[in-house]
Amino acid sequence: MATSSGVKNVMINRPPRASQELTDAEVQAFASQAFIQESLKKPTEPKHVLSFFFGEDFIHGKTTKDKMRSGDCLKTMPKFWFQARNSSCYDQLCSKFSDLVHKAGTKALKGSTTWNDTVDGKIAQMILCDQLARNIWRGTKEAYAYEAIAKDISRELAIALVSSAPTIPEMPTLGPSVDGLDHGEVYPPYLAFILVALMHSEVIEDHDLCDELFQLAIETTQPHLHVYFEGEQKVAREHRVVLEAFGRYPYRNAVLGRKTTPEEAAWLAKKENMPDWAKSQ
């Protein structure tokens, strides 16, 4: 834990990832798309999760691979990902996936090849447990209940990517030699949320892995995506600053029933210390 003198330096002054909060009108326009409606009707497969979260049609879309390779959703979806904390409308859409979150979080999907032997399946489970859980149970202990599953998946994929880096000219397609994965392409948006899941960890070694993966991202993704990953790298550094100061994320204490130290209380009392990402969960 940090000393009182150390707390004074835990300051975050970077603008938020998205400049304006998500509006109900934007959520309604998003939900009106046919493939989103299909994803929400009875979500049972990775393609439903991926379509909803990334805003690309994994169900019928013929150009989805190209759009994911070029990272289109990294420009169109950040409001949904990072500025939806006051949008009960969006959280209600996310709640359609609550049964799937429970299944992924309790390893009930473990026997499914669709969910476990493909990159799409792994990423979908990670999104369920790390992202959608936060929307569905925002402000409650259950928002974090399935985080361990997401961290395991993000570590697995990150280690595979980093270890393969010396032999690849670009983001690889993970094959059978990588932890039993049959096939799958690690699109830049997938990479972005592997990184986010690692940022959420309160284990400092995960942040070391995150640093390595950011370097790989900037070296291997298309130049037009570098601004996005460099921005996220700054967010990762902010997470590390807080974690190194306190050994955990103090803003989670109340929800998780953890006792707040005097140093943490002093930091939390200064609202200017609070990074934008800490306010959403």
CB 70 within 8 A of CB 189: no
Distance CA 173, CA 186 (A): 6
Distance CA 119, CA 190 (A): 9
Instruction: Pick the more confident residue, 176 or 115.
Output: 115
Q: Which of 66, 50, 68 is nearest to 58 (CA)?
A: 50
Q: Which of 211, 185, 119 is nearest to 156 (CA)?
A: 119
* 96 occurs within a structural domain: yes
Distance CA 183, CA 57 (A): 19
pLDDT at residue number 9: 56
Q: What range does the domain containing 265 cover?
A: 78-280
* 144 occurs within a structural domain: yes
3-state SS track over 69-97: HCCCHHHHCHHHHHCCCCCHHHHHHHHHH
Residue entry with tokens 């950011």: 214
Distance CA 54, CA 77 (A): 7
* 65 occurs within a structural domain: no
Calculate the average pLDDT of the chain: 88
* 28 occurs within a structural domain: no
Backbone phi, then psi, for 183, in 5-degree steps? -165, 165
pLDDT at residue number 11: 52
CATH of the domain at 147: 1.25.40.10
Q: Which of 214, 179, 183, 178 is nearest to 196 (CA)?
A: 214
* 87 occurs within a structural domain: yes
Least confident of 24-28, 134-138, 142-146, 163-167: 163-167
- Classified as helix, coil or strand, 11 is coil
* 59 occurs within a structural domain: no
For residue range 111-141, list pLDDT tens digits in order: 888 999 899 999 999 999 999 999 999 999 9
For residue range 214-230, list pLDDT tens digits in order: 999 998 899 999 999 99
* 55 occurs within a structural domain: no
* 122 occurs within a structural domain: yes
Q: Is the pLDDT of residue 22 over 50?
A: yes
Domain count of the fold of the chain: 1
Q: Which of 83, 33, 7, 66 is nearest to 276 (CA)?
A: 83
Q: Which residues have a Cβ under 8 Å from the Cβ of 251 and sit 6 or more positions away?
A: 268, 274, 278, 279
Residue 76's pLDDT band (boundaries 50, 70, 90)? Answer: very high
Q: Is the pLDDT of residue 17 over 80?
A: no
